[in-house]
Structure 1
Amino acid sequence: MEKENMRYQQGKKISIISLLSNTLLALLKISIGFFANSKALIADGFHSVSDMASTIIVMASIKFSETPADKNHPYGHEKAEALGTNILAVILILTAVFLGRDAILTIMSGNIAEPGSWALFAAFISIIVKELLYRFTIKIGEEINSRGLIADAHHHRSDAFSSIAALIGIGGAKLGFRFLDPLAGLVVAFLILKVGYEIMRDTSYELMDGRPAKGKINEIRELAAAINGVIEIHDIKLRSYGPNYIVDLKIVVEDQLSVVEGHNIACRVENEIINNSEDVKDVMVHVDPLSIHQN
């Protein structure tokens, strides 16, 4: 429980920093974008607004995921983090669609104003802040194994790239190529869409109990095989549950063992895996007699 609370506190700390930073950046970029007539900067500002929403979702989902198991959720609530991250992906995709539509309509209209110099300054500041946020968030996310924070970190990185696109578009527009500003806004929309799709793909894989990395399965197999009395191991299945895994596997033992002896071997396998894998929260061991695998 102490470990879970520490995990939440670390996630909360970086999330509050992200939320405050994104709020200030969104206000800066959207207000300057409107006054400086920059579609690229406005799009980048709304990207920061989506960052604010994503940070709030990540904070809430991490907090809820730490709720202990109950009668209706015997495995706990860790999947809340993946669900929250999926909601973040939907927000990103919708944001990208609306921003892209606005940029395309502006390009088609041909009525494009030259952006002001302040727009360049705002885009430059955004690049620096978002890159720092990415590095800080990805570090904490990997330390506490939070898919939500890691997704949020990549969102920060995509915002830094979108600010670079905005900077190039604004600079080009000021040199006389005015279409580059809304075109940069369209690029920003595409970058947001790409990140949203990738986040949704990864979290949906987890929610659908997709198979984790093969290395983890091999690790479980080696731990189980080290137990005295285990002859073979079959059908190892792992399900992601937030930052943890739930393991199902079959072990093969000698036919003449009693039920109690088979049960004791299964308990030793379970304890070995849980004690030597920090990210495994539960293990279900099915015991098979050797004879059924020799036919």
Structure 2
Amino acid sequence: MNPEERYQSCKKVTLVTLIVNLLLSVAKVAIGILFFSQAIIADGIHSISDVISTLAVWVAIRISRQPADDEHPYGHGTVETIAAKFIGIILFLTGLIIIKESIMTIVKGNIREPGILNFWIAFISILAKEWMYRYTYQQGKSLNNKALMADAYHHRSDALSSIAALIGVVGAKSGYLIADPIAGLIVALFIIHMGYEIFMEAIDDLMNKVDDELYQQIREVVSTQAEVIAIRDLRIRNHGPDLFVDLRIVINDELSVVEGHSISREVESRIKRELDIVEEILIHIDPLSVHKKLSL
């Protein structure tokens, strides 16, 4: 998929989720205020943070599609990881705000029985947010967009928080009024946990943490090239949706420079055929005699 097609696909996902999030957040906050549910208000605030995070994803996608330039020779893909980090921070701060509001409601004892509309908006939110999670995650995975996948987990956390809010409303309607603000606290804990997970994953990505399976997969692909005797110094770097690979391959001394170049090009082609997320590969050729000396 070329950058323009990828951008248009990502744009469609963010537009759909933005519209649904906006409608849900307004409805939940309004119903929570008018019909006295701290849990639904907290859930609505969570949905507002969804709107903010989706906008952040949209901006990141627009920036990441820009081609490489003199100041950014590897392109602008890392902005997607930065957006994921921003989403994590937004979630964490949102959770802290909700905790404060829920505790103040409990301390002041200003608790009223929530209206039945709170039940229905929570139920609708659960269905909508679970669908949004599945839709956004599937698209984010197929497009290898970390910001979209982070936003998908945000939707899942919102679905879980809506479940907690629903339980709080049912508890309050059953005569246990304190269940509603307690549900608000539970919602906040869901949000904080999800924010922490997304933030740490973005940090790992910025520090070029790569799964061992990916290293093993590249080694296996390179080893299928008959002229390659050994592989040294394999390094992989994340850059948004793309991977950049550096490695050394060892070949026999008798091979010419032209033959060595041909082997390196074939190795590069094999890696890119197996892993379409690899954007660029830098291969250094080591003669066998040099490799033996370095191995002593």
Q: TM-score, normalised by structure 1?
A: 0.94
Divergent runs of 4+, >6 A = none
Gaps of 5+ in 2: none
What does residue range 60-71 of structure 1 map to in structure 2 within 5 Å?
Answer: 60-71=59-70
What does residue range 31-110 of structure 1 map to in structure 2 within 5 Å?
Answer: 31-110=30-109
The answer to which of 214-223 and 8-17 deviates more is 214-223
- For 1:200 and 1:289, how far apart are their aligned partners in 2? 43
Which residue in the other structure is 2:202 paired with? 203
The answer to which of 229-238 and 80-89 deviates more is 229-238
What does residue range 91-240 of structure 1 map to in structure 2 within 5 Å?
Answer: 91-210=90-209, 212-240=210-238
Paired amino acid for 2:212: K
Paired amino acid for 1:208: M
Q: Does 1:266 align with 2:260?
A: no
The answer to which of 79-88 and 105-114 deviates more is 105-114
Percent identity, please.
Answer: 45
How far 1:94 sits from its partner (Å)? Answer: 0.7
- For 2:20 and 2:271, how far apart are their aligned partners in 1? 41
Which residue in the other structure is 1:292 paired with? 290
Cα RMSD after superposing both structures: 1.5
- Cα displacement string for residues 230-288 of structure 1 (whole angstroms, at most 9, x for unaligned residues): 11011211112212211011111223444444333323322332244211000111222
Paired amino acid for 1:28: A
- For 2:129 and 2:53, how far apart are their aligned partners in 1? 14
Which residue in the other structure is 2:6 paired with? 7
Paired amino acid for 2:4: N
- For 2:120 and 2:264, how far apart are their aligned partners in 1? 64
- For 1:276 and 1:48, how far apart are their aligned partners in 2? 39
The answer to which of 213-222 and 9-18 deviates more is 213-222
The answer to which of 75-84 and 130-139 deviates more is 130-139
**Secondary structure in 1 aligned to 2:157?**
helix
**Secondary structure in 1 aligned to 2:271?**
helix
Match of 2:245 among 247, 250, 272: 247
Paired amino acid for 1:229: E
The answer to which of 27-36 and 230-239 deviates more is 230-239
- For 1:68 and 1:275, how far apart are their aligned partners in 2? 23
- For 1:69 and 1:117, how far apart are their aligned partners in 2? 54
Q: TM-score, normalised by structure 2?
A: 0.94
How far 1:153 sits from its partner (Å)? Answer: 1.3
- Cα displacement string for residues 111-151 of structure 1 (whole angstroms, at most 9, x for unaligned residues): 22221222112111111111111121122112212111111
**Secondary structure in 2 aligned to 1:283?**
strand
- For 2:72 and 2:141, how far apart are their aligned partners in 1? 26
